[in-house]
Structure 1
């Protein structure tokens, strides 16, 4: 290859790299611009008050808005009877959220110059910060007890999917009245078949509260998952049943909706939704046949709500809790709902 040929090749490579860089910058600029533009044909979102206290006009849903525009990732609110209506945006941004009885928990990203960090923020009824706690990993689950006195959250401290084998979680429980903070359920004593379980690979996630002393959660060990019932005063968790993930207790405390690993399904989408009757231990498969990777929310005693991937991140769907019927799309571009 002559010197002139080498120069021409080098010039061509530089031009190609310059074109790629310019295209990348244009795409990044376009994405940034789209983020601030309202989503064409999407939900209408306007700035307005959002409260965690039930309104006199009826039940409301507070959730993370995923519609593109200036209010993306903010906590927004709509009437439960008109989930497709105009969303009132609070200005408070969360990755995960839940609320009950005037208390909210908001898991947030804190953007830094080098890397992001995360924190859990306890919110009062008007979304004002009551307290915050640094998180050791990426937020994934959040819950508040029916009384609003207790909050719990789960983060990934390794890996990025429940479907993988290389991950670890950390689940914490906070008493908002006393400030008592259990930083990890791994510090609790685990009991299975009446015996203390000693294992180095214990993981916990997906707390759902029964009251201010008891809760349910998922425990993993030995490559298997278990439903456990926790006692905050005794600092113990007791195995109830195998193959239960991300439990959510019904309003009357008698049933748990959960995601169950079903054999024969793809490794990255192995779950189906079931309801477990805690009195009879009978499982009922629900009418949603797609794989759901979410901690489901009870809309009322008859219907559950959950997220599935959507064009703008996630959409919310509902399905009957007794196994009848099929799923219905509740709203688009939404995540982490709480019914007030």
Structure 2
């Protein structure tokens, strides 16, 4: 009789679905991952809570309510509106925002688009923006369509200070400080550029235009331009020319590429909607060197000047809310507030809205 060898059963292989054993190294990795995840969640919660606290604190201090929504520059975009740079503290600071023109203290709708300087007309916007760089901040001029989409842009050679769009939306202009950062002194230089959206023609500097002063061609190295304002014909503009320690109102002609001096001691002109008057800032003798300006009206037919009823120094290029009223900025608790004023020298200034800058009236 032959003996049958005993059978042996091989050990069962582990199932692929079985978990790997929790080694000390694996436990440590899980612990570290959990700690990092909790830290991230906590940081996000802190940022959100801080933003909400900032909004609540500003609201308690009289600040406006701001929320994200659609902002349009279309001329027929739903009634008369005011679009501006929102200066209210919180997550929407520096964004373009809008309110109904007849309810400037109402809740604001913010767009998500940030601008340092802004203007809009005819469905076109010009937004002067800051760009963070690895070494230092840079700046860019961005032309926007009515939906706030970029249609053109140019790098800027300095700090943004003025911006304008022509009434029909075909021309845009902007000014930057190339040297210095204030108009109050004399040690600054500016560069003013023009872009024609109809042809794409870009004039990097108004200094390339022919200057006609006192009936003669004028050229010197110390020329500066700033504060463009456009006429309705989409070719005529007014601006400030500085040279030889004096400032002048000039009338420009895009077709001829000329600027002609009209009057001395005028800065940052703003043309009325009917094209007959300019409101500007004028240096008045005897005032502080840091706050030397007063607002004046110039009738272009008679060249008669009328002082406006604002006794504070206004370092701004006003905008016209209608044919009778101008709006401008003055320093405020959160950077700047907007004020309105009759353009004929009557009345008194009134605060239009807090925490706002660079307004444009649309619709």
CA–CA distance in 1 between the matches of 2:223 and 2:194? 17
Partner of 2:54: 37
Indicate conservation of the 8 Å contact 2:268/2:317, yes or no.
Answer: yes
Partner of 1:136: 157
CA–CA distance in 2 between the matches of 1:110 and 1:129? 15
Aligned match of 1:232 in 254, 269, 285? 254
CA–CA distance in 1 between the matches of 2:99 and 2:265? 35
**In the TM superposition, what is the alpha-carbon distance from 1:36 to its structure 2 partner?**
7.9
Partner of 2:352: 330
Aligned match of 1:199 in 220, 225, 246? 220
CA–CA distance in 2 between the matches of 1:333 and 1:35? 18
Q: Indicate the SS of the match to 1:318.
A: strand
Partner of 1:248: 270
Aligned match of 1:77 in 91, 98, 103? 98
CA–CA distance in 2 between the matches of 1:331 and 1:55? 23
Partner of 2:172: 151
Matched, 1:178 2:199: yes
Q: What root-mean-square deviation, in Å, do the aligned CA atoms of Structure 1 and Structure 2 show? A: 1.6
Partner of 2:9: none
**In the TM superposition, what is the alpha-carbon distance from 1:212 to its structure 2 partner?**
1.5
**In the TM superposition, what is the alpha-carbon distance from 1:338 to its structure 2 partner?**
0.3
Partner of 2:340: 318
**In the TM superposition, what is the alpha-carbon distance from 1:168 to its structure 2 partner?**
0.2
Matched, 1:62 2:79: no
Partner of 1:271: 293
Matched, 1:299 2:321: yes
* Count of residues in correspondence between the two structures: 311
Partner of 1:46: 67
Cα pair distance change 1:35/1:75, threshold 3 Å: farther
**In the TM superposition, what is the alpha-carbon distance from 1:165 to its structure 2 partner?**
1.3
CA–CA distance in 2 between the matches of 1:168 and 1:124? 30
- Structure number, greater radius of gyration: 2
CA–CA distance in 2 between the matches of 1:108 and 1:330? 25
Q: Indicate the SS of the match to 1:310.
A: coil
Aligned match of 2:307 in 285, 288, 294? 285
**In the TM superposition, what is the alpha-carbon distance from 1:213 to its structure 2 partner?**
1.1
Partner deviation per Cα, 1:317-338 (whole Å, 9 max, x = no partner):
0000010011000000000000
Q: Indicate the SS of the match to 2:336.
A: strand
CA–CA distance in 1 between the matches of 2:249 and 2:318? 15
Indicate conservation of the 8 Å contact 2:51/2:91, yes or no.
Answer: no
Matched, 1:161 2:178: no
TM-score, normalising length: structure 2: 0.84
Partner of 1:222: 244
Partner of 1:189: 210
CA–CA distance in 2 between the matches of 1:35 and 1:271? 39
Gaps of 5+ in 2: 1-45
Q: Which has the higher strand share?
A: 1
Partner of 1:24: none
TM-score, normalising length: structure 1: 0.89
**In the TM superposition, what is the alpha-carbon distance from 1:35 to its structure 2 partner?**
9.9
